[in-house]
Structure formats: structure tokens, C-alpha cells
A and B are shown apart, each in its own frame.
Chain A
Amino acid sequence: MKQIEISHLSFSYGQHGSKIILQDIDFQGSNNESIGLIGANGVGKSTLLKLMVGLELGYEGELKIEGTPVKKETLAEIRAKTGYVFQDSESQLFMPTVYEDVAFAPRNYGMKPEEVEKRTMKALTDTHIENLKDKHIYRLSGGEKKLVSIATILSMDPSIILLDEPSVALDPKNRRNLIHVLNELNGLKIIASHDLDFIYDTCERTILLGDGKIIKDGDTKEILTNQEMLESCGLELPLSLIRR
């Protein structure tokens, strides 16, 4: 079964849908795939991710997560399967300590204390931040906050992980560490970013968005080396590919 099925999806804001954000989006995602979602600013990458977790509703077309259509009535079910990491990790963290924040989801899903402990520790281990367990959120660096925000969703054991601009404001070391952590994670990952080098290092498949439509869906290397196509969508070749 496909974990994400999107067909003829359109979405618009404003009165009577005056501002069209996404048009006729079609794609599917399977387990353990890592999909990069690229495009210039305002092209609808974040909106598409938000639609997948039901933070935005009122779309046209079909959007299914593990066979369940995303709608108001199914949000709890959808969100238990899908983890979403916001671009602004700082705002995403709201509990006093790292442990408390990572344990928030399993507790809210009514798990037993032993299960909460197990999942929380696994999420911290998977992101290599066990040492930050008792640290207060406000004392974390930007890179640590990003890893904690990933751990907060991993504790739900989601089968789909959505990341919005995960590499923003990370220094090279933290960026490299994040790439390493993401590459180790199982499940379907969809990463929205205009950091094309980051996409190159983490995704084998890429979807290029332009004017709210899918311009190209295919092999990452093939898309990221197509200078003409990237430039027509307001993007540039990744720096790492220029050097080669």
C-alpha cells in the first residue's frame, strides 16, 4: 500500500479561492522513500506539507495517508501516523525539558509510562541526543533544537516524516549531523527545502514545484543537474554539483 496518495489535489486561499496555491498535484510515496520537495519561495511546498497533516483543509482532489483520506474527522488518525517538523523549531518546542517535550506525544496518546519511557529514549537515541535528555529547552543551540524537534515526532513512531526547511540556520557541522540522522531514519520522508545540496544528500527522489504545479517528479540527481529546468523555476544548481 502506498503511504501517501495524492491525486488531482488543488488548494487555494481567499474568497472563492481567489489565490491559487496548488494545482492538480499528483504523486505517491512508499515506505522508506525519501522525497525532496523543491521550488522557489511561495511555490506551495509548506502548504503541501500542511495539507498532508491536516493543518490546512479544504483542498480539492484526493489526499490519502495510508489509505485514509485527510479530513476533519480523520485528523487524529492521520496525525498519529505522520510527524511534521516545522521550519521554526524553537516555536515547536514548548515543554520545559527535552525529555518532557519528546514524551509529550506518547503521553497524549495515552500510552503507559513504561511505553512512554521506551519511546522517548528511543527517539533520543535515534537522533543521538540522549545527553540532552534533562537539558532545558531554552539552553539548547539551534542545531540541538532541530534534532529535539525531530525527536519529538519520532517518539510517536510515525510511518511518515515531513520536514519543512530542516537545514535552515544550521552550521556545517550540525547540518552534516542532521543529514546523517535523517539518512538513518526509516519510513517515508518528505523534505521541503530550497537547500538543494541538502536535498541531494538526503533524497533519492525529488519533486520540483513551480507555480503551484509539479514540474518534474523523478531522480534527484537528474533533476538537480538540469540547470535550465531549475532556473526556469527560480532555482540554481546545487553548489556541490557546480564544483564537480
Chain B
Amino acid sequence: MGKIEEAVHEIHHIDATAGEDKWLNQIHPLPKLLVTLGYIFIVVSFHKYNLSGLLSMCIYPMIIMILGDVSLKKAVKRMKYIILLLCFVGIANPFLDHKVLFYIGNIGVSGGIVSMVTVMLKGVLSVTASYLLIISTNIEKICYALSILHLPKAVVTVVMLIYRYSIVLLKEVQRINTAYSMRAPKQKGIHHRAWGSLVGQLLLRSMDRGQIVYESMTLRGYAGDFHMYGMKKITKEDVLYGAAWGIVFVFLRAVPVFELLGHLK
């Protein structure tokens, strides 16, 4: 299976996983969305030197992965490129901030190194939280939650359509790539001379297919509104789920748990 085909397959697989009958998937999308947004907000709010505080926030993805039966291996595999990219964020910090914060043995650890790790961790945790939302909630439910939050209808529709268009686009990339490689078997990748025309082709073809999808939707009564059917009403358990995580996040943000545990020794 080619890389693009694998990507399309992965998207469909994530969609299928989000539709499975698991307890995490059954939670109303609104508390899940709010918990994710709240989590990201709190993670990002940690000071650049507060590594221990940030580490305590790992508890959320760990618990969700265990209880929700989410494979860590698959998660890492799916997010590997984003994680790699995140590792480059803040890579310049050690060169800019030389102030020594503490020593490990005789080696001084500078603020730049701590802030670099903090920035990386913030990115990884935020992406992981988003992944956990996506793996347990399909795009229709996320859009439903966004509409409950009274986000403009146009924004919700655009989110939904971008998702659909991304699949159309990927499939077209796959077709073009296959057609190219069949006629250039000894080449690795696509020669730079062909990039321009292929990108043009990709745009035109994906727009054509996008047009068919849109026409198909309008022919079946679509008039700018996605009707959210079969969405369950919010229950006490859902509220409790959201509230419990909210309390945990605020507690972890306010109380330096790891530092307190260290003092207990």
C-alpha cells in the first residue's frame, strides 16, 4: 500500500474507530470538545520553565488511552510526523537562553533547554488531546458540538466540507501519483519538472470531484445545513465527565503535584 493510500485508509479507519460502540465514543461530543479545548488551554498556559507542572498534565491522555482502549503504538505511528515537527519547535531556545536553572550532578541545565522541552511537550500533549477527540468522535459529532456552541453555521459547514474535501484531495493525489509512477518506474518520487503541471491537475481534478460531491448533496436536498440526526441528548454522566476533568485540570494547574511529592521524601 502506498503512503497516500495508507493515509486515506488511516482517515477512514479513524472514522470507523470513532463510530465504534465504546464508552468513550458514547460520551456526548460537547463535553469531550470542551474538555479537549480546556486541556489545551491549560497546557499552553504553563510557564516555560514549569516542566514538572506540565508533566502532571500527562495524566489526562494516559487515563483516556487506558480507559478508552486507545492504542499508544497506533497513536504514535499516526502522529509521528507531527511529533517530529513539534520537536523542532523551540530547538533554538538553548542557544538563546543560557541562564542555568538547576544542576543534574555537575551539569547545569539552562533555561533554554527546559523551555525547549516544555514547548515540545506542550505541542505533543495538545496534539495528543486533539487526537483523542478525533479518535472517539467523528466529524459530524464534532460539528454538532460546534453548532451547540453557537459557532456561525458557515464555520461549522466549512469545517465539515474541508474534512470531506481533504479526502477527495488525497484520493486524487493517490491517483495522480499512481499514474505517474506507472510511467516512471525507475524514478523515486515525482521529478520537479512535473510538479507544476501535476499540482495544476490535482487542483482541477479535485475541484471537479468536489463539485460532483456538492452536486450530489444539493440533489439530495442539501441547502447549506447539515442535519444532525441521531445525536443523543446530554446526560448527567456527560456533564459529570466534563466537570470532573475540569476540576482535575484546574487542580493540576494550581497545585504543583510533582514538587509536593518530591518534598514528601
A residues touching B (Cβ–Cβ < 8 Å)?
53, 55, 76, 79-80, 82-84, 86, 88, 91-94, 96-97, 103-105, 107-110, 113, 116, 136, 138, 152-153, 156
Chain A residues near B221 (CB, 8 Å)?
76, 79-80, 104-105, 108-109, 156
* Number of A-B pairs, beta carbon distance below 8 Å: 69
1/0 per position for B10-48, CB-CB distance to A under 8 A?
A: 001001100100000000000000000000000000000
Q: Is the CB of B138 within 8 A of A96?
A: yes
Output the least CB separation between A98 and chain B (Å): 12
Output the least CB separation between A85 and chain B (Å): 9
Q: Is the CB of B216 within 8 A of A86?
A: yes
A108 touches which of B16, B213, B220 (Cβ 8 Å): B220
- A79-B221, A104-B220, A152-B220 as given contacts; A88 in contact with B212, CB under 8 Å: yes
Q: Is the CB of B218 within 8 A of A79?
A: yes
Cα A215 to Cα B222 with chains together (Å) = 37
Output the least CB separation between B220 and chain A (Å): 4
Q: Point out which of B212, B215, B216, B227 has the most chain A C-beta atoms below 10 A from its C-beta.
A: B216
1/0 per position for B192-228, CB-CB distance to A under 8 A?
A: 0000000000000000010011011111111101010
Q: Is the CB of A96 within 8 A of B216?
A: no
- A86-B212, A96-B138, A103-B229 as given contacts; A55 in contact with B219, CB under 8 Å: yes
Can you list 8 A-B pairs with a CB-CB distance of less than 8 A? A92-B216, A103-B229, A105-B221, A107-B229, A108-B220, A108-B227, A116-B229, A136-B15
Chain B, 207-265, CB within 8 A of any chain A CB? 209, 212-213, 215-223, 225, 227, 229-230
Chain B residues near A104 (CB, 8 Å)?
217, 220-222
Q: Is the CB of B223 within 8 A of A92?
A: no
1/0 per position for B136-147, CB-CB distance to A under 8 A?
A: 001010000000
Cα A83 to Cα B215 with chains together (Å) = 12
Q: Point out which of B9, B140, B209, B217 has the most chain A C-beta atoms below 10 A from its C-beta.
A: B217
Q: How many residues of B contact A (CB 8 A)?
A: 26
Chain B, 102-136, CB within 8 A of any chain A CB? none
Chain B residues near A79 (CB, 8 Å)?
218-221
- A-B pairs, top 7 by smallest CB distance, nearest first, are A108-B221, A105-B220, A91-B212, A92-B216, A138-B12, A107-B227, A109-B221
B223 touches which of A86, A91, A108, A156 (Cβ 8 Å): A108
- A103-B229, A108-B222, A138-B12 as given contacts; A97 in contact with B216, CB under 8 Å: no
B residues touching A (Cβ–Cβ < 8 Å)?
8-9, 12, 15-16, 19, 138, 140, 164, 168, 209, 212-213, 215-223, 225, 227, 229-230
Cα A35 to Cα B59 with chains together (Å) = 65
Q: Is the CB of A94 within 8 A of B19?
A: no
Q: Point out which of B12, B16, B215, B221 has the most chain A C-beta atoms below 10 A from its C-beta.
A: B221
Cα A108 to Cα B228 with chains together (Å) = 10
A55 touches which of B16, B19, B215, B220 (Cβ 8 Å): B215
- Nearest to A93 among chain B residues (CB) is B216
Besides A91-B212, A108-B225, 9 new A-B residue pairs in contact (Cβ under 8 A), listed by A number: A76-B221, A76-B223, A79-B218, A92-B216, A96-B15, A96-B19, A96-B138, A96-B140, A108-B221
Output the least CB separation between A151 and chain B (Å): 12
Chain A residues near B229 (CB, 8 Å)?
103, 107, 113, 116
- Nearest to B214 among chain A residues (CB) is A94
Q: Is the CB of A94 within 8 A of B164?
A: yes
Cα A55 to Cα B12 with chains together (Å) = 30
Q: Point out which of A97, A105, A108 has the most chain B C-beta atoms below 10 A from its C-beta.
A: A108
Output the least CB separation between A28 and chain B (Å): 23
- Nearest to A103 among chain B residues (CB) is B229
A91 touches which of B8, B209, B225 (Cβ 8 Å): B209
Cα A80 to Cα B218 with chains together (Å) = 10
Q: Is the CB of B16 within 8 A of A136?
A: yes
Q: Point out which of B8, B164, B168, B229 has the most chain A C-beta atoms below 10 A from its C-beta.
A: B229
Q: Point out which of B138, B168, B215, B225 has the most chain A C-beta atoms below 10 A from its C-beta.
A: B215
B216 touches which of A82, A94, A138, A156 (Cβ 8 Å): A94
Chain A residues near B209 (CB, 8 Å)?
88, 91
Output the least CB separation between A134 and chain B (Å): 9
Chain A residues near B227 (CB, 8 Å)?
107-108, 110
Cα A86 to Cα B217 with chains together (Å) = 12
Chain A residues near B140 (CB, 8 Å)?
96
Cα A52 to Cα B219 with chains together (Å) = 11
Chain B residues near A96 (CB, 8 Å)?
15-16, 19, 138, 140
Output the least CB separation between A61 and chain B (Å): 22
